[in-house]
Every structure is written in C-alpha cells, then in structure tokens.
Amino acid sequence: MNLRHPLLLPVAAIIVGLALAGVGLFRAAPLPLAAVPPGYVALVNQKGLLMSDFIAQTQVETSRSFAESTPAERSKVLREMIDEELLVQRALVLDLPETTNEVRGSLVSAVNAQVAAPILAYVPSDAELRAYYEKYRQNYTGPGSMNLHDLVLHIGGFENADQSPTQALADATEAVYQLRSGASLTYVMEHFGFVNSGRMDDTEQLDFAVKLHLGDKLYKTAAQMRDGEVSDPIPDTDGMHILVMVRHEFPKVVDFSAVRDRVYLDFRAAASSRVTQENLNLLRSQAQVLLAPGQSE
Amino acid sequence: MRPLAWVALCWLAIGTGSALAAGRSVSYSTWVVSGNLITMRLRLPVSEARRLVGVAVPVLTTDRLKEYVLDHVTVSSAGGSCPAIDQGYDLGRVDPLAVGPDLYGFELLFRCADPAQLVLHDTVLFANVPDHLNFARIRIHDQVIEQLFSSGQQQLALPDTGAPAAAGLSAYLRVGLLHVLDSLDCWCVLLAALLLVRRWSDVGGMVLALAGGYLLSLALSATGWVLPRLNAVEACLGLLVALLGAMLALRAGRYRMVGVLGWGGLLVLLAILCMFRHAPWGAPLLLGGALLFAGVMLVADRTTAMPWWVFIGLFALLDGVLMSAVLPPAQLPPRSFEEVMLGFDGGAWLIESLLVAGMATALLLVRTQRLAMLRSLLENVSAAALSAVGTFWLASRLWG
C-alpha cells in the first residue's frame, strides 16, 4: 500500500467524515424489552416496577420482613402493584391530570411535597427555633378570658312602644353616667328599664366564647375594656347595649418552652411554604403564560 | 441586475418557507370489519397532532383530539351513515388508548344499520397537511390488507365479499414520486446536481449514485439495526445543500483552499456550539460534514474529477431513511414494509433520475454560446443561493 498516494488523505477524510456523520445521523434501534431487567420485578407495557418498591410494599402490607413473607403474600402484593400501574397508565391515557380536579389536587400536593422534602428533612436547632419564636411571638399567646354583664334597653317592643332610638340613647347615656358614678347595677336596670341581654351568663368565659356569644360588634368593644370599666352605649339590632366588665384577663405571650412544639411545626410550615413559592417563581420564569383579553391574575 | 434581484428574492422565499419542512407526515390506522360493527384504531404521532393546534384544535389535549378524530373519521354504508357508538363507562364514543411514547391512540366503534357497501372515510390532517399519509391496515372477511389514505384518497369502498385490493407497489411508487416533486430539499439537490453535470458520464454517475443511496437505505431499513434521528437527518439535508452550493462555487479552482478552510472552520464552530446547546448529536454530524467536504475538495484538487456523487448518494440515503424512520408504528409485516420502502425509494429514484437525466441531456445537447453564458450566470447565483439556503436550513433544523 502506497502511503504517499495523493488521494490517500482525502479519501480517508471522506470515509472518516461519512462515519462521523453516521454517528450523528443514526442511533441504535432500541430492542423491545422481552425480559425483566435486573432491579425490576415486572414490566407493565414496557414500564418497570422496581424490586425495591416491591420489597417495601410487601413489608408494609405483611408487617414482616420480605424474607419472612410467604410466596402467596408476595404474589398478592405484586398483583396489586401491577393493577395499580395499569390504572395509573390508564389515567394518563384518559388525560385525568387535565380533566379531574382530585387528580390535579393530588399532583399539586405531590410536587409541593417533593420540593419541600429536603427542607423538611432538616432538623432546626433550638437557637433557630427561638429566633423564629422571637420574630413571631405575637402568634404564641395564651387565650384570654373575661366576665362581664351585657345590659340591653329594648326599643320598639309592645311594652316599650313609645321608646324612640333617640330617647333610648339619651337614657342609656344617663345610665352609663350613673354606673360610672357608682350607682348599682340593679338600681340602674330598674330605673331605666335595662334587662340582661342573655348573651352572657355572668361567668368567666374564654375570649373566643365571648366573641361567639356577644357577636363581633359588642366583642370589639369588650376586648378593649379593663376591669370595672363601663362601655358607652352601643346600638345593636335588639336595642341599646351597655357592657360592664367585671374581670378581663388579656391574652399573654406564652413562654418558648411551653410552645416549642408549635414553634417547630410553624418553622417547618414556613420553610415549606417558602420553597414552594420559590419553586413556583422558577416555574413561572420558565413558563409562557398568556391571559385572555380583560383577564388579570 | 433586476433578474438577479428576482432570483435572490425567490431563493429567500424558498429558503425561509421550508425551514422545517423536510420530515414525513404520517399516521396509522387499523380497521377491523366484523359484520355490521367496524372497529377503528388510530395512532397519531404527537408531532403531527401539534400541527392541528390553533387551526382545528385550540389547545392540544386528549379531549380536544377526541372531538377532532370523531369529526374526521366516519363510516357509511348502504343504510346511510354509521354512527360511532358509546363505549360505556365514562369513555363516550372515542376511547383513548395507550399506544406507546410520542403517539396518541384512539379507538372508535361504528355500527351500521346495513353492512353492505361499506365506505371508510378518513380526513384526519389532510386539510392542514396536504402531503399527509395514513397507513391503514384493514381486516375484513378474515383477510388483512394494507391501504393508504391520502389527500387524494380520503375514502375507501369495501366490497361486500372478500377484501379490497391492497395499495400495492404502484401506490408507494406514486408516494415516492410525489414526495420528490413536493420536497424543496430534493429540488435544491437536483438543481445542484444538474449544474455539476459536465459530461455524459456525469449523468450516469448521478443516476448510479442515487440508486446506490436508495439501495443502502433499503438495506439499512431491512436490518432494523439503526434508527435515524429525524432532526439530524433534516439538518444534514440542509448541510448537503449548503456543501453542494459551496462545491459549485469552488469548482473553478480559484480560492479553493480558502473556501475549504472557511467552510471547514464554520462547521467546526457550529459543532462546538452544538456540544453546548441542546443538539449534541449535531457535533459529529458537522465534523463529519467538514471532513467530507475537505476530502472531496482535496480529491478535486489532486485529480481532475470532483467526486460530488458522494453527496448525491448521501442525499438519496437520507431521503430513503426518512420514510423508514416513520414506519415502525404502522407495525407492517416485513413483506409489506419492504414493499412500501421499495415503492417509495423506487418512485423517488425514478423521478429524480428522469429529471436529472432529461434536463442534463438537454443542457449538454444544446451548447450554444448564449446558453453557456446563461448557465454561468445561473451557476454563480445558484451556488451562492444554495449555500445560503442550505446554511439557513442547517441552523434552523439544528436549533429550531
């Protein structure tokens, strides 16, 4: 062979060029999987079921180690896994993620859980928890309580048909003046015609119960009142109310040691929420979102 | 100058108009006729379904496609239209099937009041893609035949006894023939080939090169050992057009080394880009192209002949494998597969050979001074245009 032949180099270049181009142009044809590859327990429509998943599932269902499970138990578990895979594949063919709210909700939860998993695996130190507690200490208050009287001067009933709202307000203002001046509750009620509204039972109740019984309007005033204080007249649907606070225990921030578990849970929830939002921000930055005319988000 | 400007404008329109148009548009269907019940399964590649988005389907979801398929696949008989029947559960009239990756699958059942004079109608995609083909397998009266639905044949009448005639070699020859006439890539390569012809022997060499390429594609398809990367094949067709343009420009011998180094450098640069972008398969393709081009030009430099037939043969090989690449989902029996490929490659070869041989013969026979000047002008403009259009196709198909 003459290595100095003038055509040797160009012909070699052509052959190598064709071979290189062939590498880019073609790929080996994938062989259909006729046997289950190592590490898998079964193939369902060419999709593999992992042996590790099979072992874990068997242990969960039998509450024993895989080695201790019987062939019948393993067969049952494998059948269930194949059934599940078939149904999942069918769900994808039916495009359920696109059309079914429950499936969409599950997918969203699964993605969020996957994103948050590394964060949730991290165990925060006490110092980090305490710093979080200090930052959000207003969230860690114990419930307050109060004992109060709720008097009402009804307007427009058959027994007080002549009472107008203006007159009732004047009477209530006078009653408040007298109560603040030291008149007894019984005297004021008899003199001006006030009655117990029945919303409170004159016992000490937790804040949330008071709010439930009094309603938002009266509770808003009660929440600001101190021991022995008498409220201004408050018009409500059933007449003119006067609140007389007997004792008010305001909510207090609870010590860190008492709420450590709550702080821990809140810390994790906040971290999870943060990474979920970051993931969404990333997805949005990579997505193309078009809104119909007139729509906004 | 005005004619030149018009030629340049035409080339620009051609080049931008078919940036990504080299692939085959096919779908697959199976029809099983059993008495008055006809079961139809359609397999539609995801890439083909995407062509419907914004035209026939607003958003590509299985539900939307189901509606589209229901509207475009029908059966009629002597008793009138055969309705698609509800398949129970929550499926409705179109049952989506799992038919493999990158494919949508649907099953419809038609029940005819009178099973006589059955006619199958398939209009899926033809309105959007005129050169779309549907490879149909029809089982009727215990016989199975292969047929083709195309924009020219959107319905098929079934006989009341026996099976209809199969599509046969002639139908596939026609597909190959029409494919060449519809393909701008083919026209560009044929134009370059025509301009490269200088002697009678060149015409024979070209016909042989085309035959060799198509035969090699048949052999590759028959073994089934390798599958073409469609993106790479389409990009390579662009590369071939560009390199044929460059060969035309450098054939005279002037600035040949500059041209070889320039093209080689450009291709190496693109190969490096490919390695860092999302087309790693493009790197060996481009490096191979650079070596091939350099080798051919060196041969031309050291002998009097330019072995351009290597490019023509490679073009025929790629054109052939493009069809074989889309056939596997049709699940044709080996004999039918070979028939399709033989017909397609044969049809393409026949028309290409006839075109090149006929036009080249005409050019060689009429050798007047005026024609020589015209040819020289056409060569120069075409060389530049082929290089530009080919490079544009290469880049757009690599990163499009």
Q: Do B363 and B206 touch, CB atoms closer than 8 A?
A: no
Tokens of B90: 């929550």
Q: Give Cα separations from A170 to A37, A121, A137, A165 (angstroms).
A: 91, 65, 44, 9
Beta bridge partners of A244: A149, A230
When scoring B104, B239, B298, B301 by the number of chain A Cβ atoms within 10 A, the one with the most, hence best to mutate, is B298
Distances (CA, A) of B18 to A12, B12, B266, B294, B398: 34, 10, 23, 28, 14
Instruction: Give the whole-angstrom CA distance, residue B117 versus residue B335.
Output: 29
What residues make up the domain containing B322?
175-399
Distance from the Cα of A53 to chain B's closest Cα (Å) equals 24
Please report the residues numbered 204 through 233 in chain A whose beta carbons come closer than 8 angstroms to any beta carbon of chain B.
none
Show residues of chain B in contact with A21, CB under 8 Å: 236, 284-285, 288-289, 292, 314
- Alpha carbon of A288: minimum distance to chain B alpha carbons (Å): 14
Q: Per the CB < 8 Å rule, is B225 touching A23?
A: no
Q: In this predicted model, what pLDDT tens digit does every residue of A144-176 receive, in sequence order?
A: 899 999 999 988 665 565 677 888 889 899 999
Q: Which chain A positions have a beta carbon within 8 Å of B303's beta carbon?
A: 7
| A4 or A94, higher pLDDT | A94
CB contact, 8 Å: B218 with chain A? no
Q: B16: distance to nearest CA of chain A, Å?
A: 23
Residues B155 and B188 in one domain: no
Q: Any CB–CB contact under 8 A between B302 and chain A?
A: yes
Domain contains B2: no
> What is the CATH architecture assignment of A145-249?
Roll (3.10)
B161 and B180 co-located in one domain: no
Contact between chains at B97 and A93 (C-beta distance less than 8 A): yes
Helix (H/G/I), strand (E/B), else coil: B78: coil
Whether A14 sits inside 8 A of B307 (CB atoms) is: yes
Inter-chain residue contact A20 with B285, CB threshold 8 Å: yes
Per-chain mean pLDDT for chain B: 85
Question: What is the distance between the alpha carbons of residues B340 and A285, in angstroms, rounded to a whole number?
Answer: 47
B292 touches chain A (CB under 8 A): yes
How many beta carbons lie within 10 A of that of residue B176, not counting itself? 25
CA A108 to chain centre: 13
Does B5 fall in a domain? Answer: no
Is B315 touching A (CB cutoff 8 A)?
A: no
Whether residue B182 is found in the same domain as residue B325: yes
Is B229 contained in some domain? yes
Domain final position from B109, B143, B166: B166
Tell me which chain A residues have a C-beta less than 8 angstroms from the C-beta of B285: 20-21, 23-25
> Using CB atoms, which residue from B229, B285, B296 is nearest to A14?
B296
Residue B224 with chain A: CB contacts under 8 Å: 29
Average pLDDT estimate for B238-252? 87
Give the minimum alpha-carbon distance from B303 to chain A in angstroms, rounded to a whole number: 8
Q: Which of residues 124-183 of A touch B (CB under 8 A)?
A: none
pLDDT for the residue A160:
61
CA distance B332 to B135: 9
- Based on the fold, state whether residues B294 and B199 are members of the same structural domain: yes
Domain boundary among B141, B166, B191: B166
Q: Say if residues A115 and A219 touch (Cβ distance below 8 Å).
A: no
pLDDT band for B2, please (50, 70, 90 cuts): low
Task: Specify if B9 maps to a domain.
Answer: no
Long-range CB contact pairs, B224-228, < 8 A, 24+: B224/A29, B225/A28, B225/A29, B226/A26, B226/A27, B226/A28, B226/A29, B227/A26, B227/A27, B227/A28, B227/A29, B227/A30, B227/B325, B227/B328, B228/A25, B228/A26, B228/A27, B228/B318, B228/B321, B228/B322, B228/B324, B228/B325
**Closest-CA residue in chain B for A47?**
B100
Instruction: Say which of A29, A30, A93 has its CB closest to residue B98.
Output: A93
What are B273-284's pLDDT values in tens digits?
Answer: 888 876 788 899
A151: part of which helix (H) or strand (E)?
Answer: strand A145-153
Q: B80 with B109, same domain? A: yes
B54 and chain A in contact, CB less than 8 A: no
Cβ distance B288 to A10 less than 8 Å, yes or no, reads no
Mean pLDDT within B226-237: 87
| Confidence label for B17 from pLDDT (cuts 50, 70 and 90) | low
Chain A CA closest to residue B318:
A25
Report whether pLDDT(A182) > 60. Answer: yes
**Bigger pLDDT: B360 vs A75:** A75
CA–CA separation, B333 vs B346, rounded Å?
Answer: 20
Is the pLDDT assigned to residue B60 strictly greater than 60?
yes
How would DSSP label each residue in A76-92?
HHHHHHHHHHHHHHHHH
- A55 with A81: CB under 8 angstroms? no
Shared-domain flag, residues B52 and B148: yes
Q: What is the ipTM of this complex?
A: 0.76
pLDDT tens per residue, range B151-165:
989 999 999 888 888
Query: Is pLDDT of A225 > 90?
Result: yes
For chain B, the domain total comes to 2
Q: Domain for residue B241, yes or no?
A: yes
Does any domain span residue B135? yes
Residue B8 lies in a domain: no
Contacts of residue A54, Cβ cutoff 8 Å, sequence gap at least 6: A41, A74, A77, A78, A81
Partners of A90 on chain B (C-beta within 8 Å) are 98
Rounded mean pLDDT, B132-160: 92
CA distance A155 to A195: 12
Banded pLDDT at B21 (limits 50, 70, 90): very low
DSSP letter for B112, please.
-
Share of chain A above pLDDT 90, in %: 53
- Distance of residue B256 Cα from the nearest chain A Cα, in angstroms: 15
Please say which residue of B121, B147, B166 terminates a domain: B166
Dihedral in degrees, nearest 10, Cα atoms A112, A113, A114, A120: 120
B9/chain A closest Cα distance in angstroms: 32
Q: Using the beta-carbon criterion (under 8 Å), do A25 and B236 form an inter-chain contact?
A: yes
Chain B residue with CA closest to A26: the answer is: B228
Q: Look at residue A189 and tell me whether its pLDDT is greater than 70.
A: yes
What average pLDDT does this structure show over A69-88?
A: 94
Which pLDDT does position A1 carry in this prediction?
57
**A21 to B290: CB separation less than 8 angstroms, yes or no:** no
Chain B CB within 8 Å of residue A87 CB: no
**Sorting pLDDT into bands at 50, 70 and 90, what band is B137?**
very high
B109 in the same domain as B242: no
Confidence band for B61, pLDDT divided at 50, 70 and 90 = confident
B227, two tokens: 């599958």
Subunit contact B236:A7, Cβ cutoff 8 A: no
Q: How confident is the model at residue B10 (pLDDT cuts 50, 70, 90)?
A: low
Name the residue of chain A whose CA is nearest to B94's CA: A94
CA angle B366/B368/B373 to nearest 5° reads: 115
> What confidence tier does B148 reach under pLDDT thresholds 50, 70, 90?
very high
Tell me the per-residue pLDDT of A33-67, one tens digit each, with 9 for 90 and over. 778 888 999 999 888 999 999 999 999 999 999 99
Q: Is residue B185 domain-shared with residue B279, that is, in the same domain?
A: yes
B62 and B180 fall within a common domain? no
Q: Give yes or no for B226 touching A (CB within 8 A).
A: yes
Overall residue count recorded for chain B in this entry:
400
| pTM tops 0.95 | no
| Whether residue B16 has pLDDT greater than 60 | no
Instruction: Count chain A–chain B contacts defined by CB atoms under 8 A.
Output: 116
Rounded Cα gap, residues B56 and B73, in angstroms: 14
Strands B73-77 and B226-228: unpaired
CB contact under 8 A, A95 and B283: no
Q: Model confidence over B357-399: pLDDT tens digits?
A: 888 877 777 666 666 777 778 788 888 888 888 988 888 888 7
Out of A17, A20, A94, the one facing B96 most closely (by C-beta) is A94
**Are residues B295 and A90, on separate chains, in Cβ contact within 8 Å?**
no
Per-residue pLDDT tens for B310-353?
889 999 999 998 888 888 888 888 888 889 999 999 999 999 99
Residues from chain B that touch A98, judged by Cβ atoms under 8 A, are: 61-63
In this predicted model, which residue has the larger pLDDT, B72 or A23? B72
| Beta strand segments in chain B, E | 26-34, 37-45, 73-77, 80-82, 95-97, 103-111, 119-122, 133-140, 143-150, 155-157, 226-228
First to last CA, chain B: 34
Tell me: do B324 and B201 sit in the same domain: yes
Run of H or E including A244: strand A239-249
Q: Output the pLDDT for position A157.
A: 61
**What is the band of B19 on the pLDDT scale with cuts at 50, 70, 90?**
very low
The answer, for A294 touching chain B at a CB cutoff of 8 Å, is no
Confidence of residue B13 (pLDDT cuts 50, 70, 90): low
Q: Around B140, how many Cα atoms within 13 Å sit in the side-chain half-sphere?
A: 30
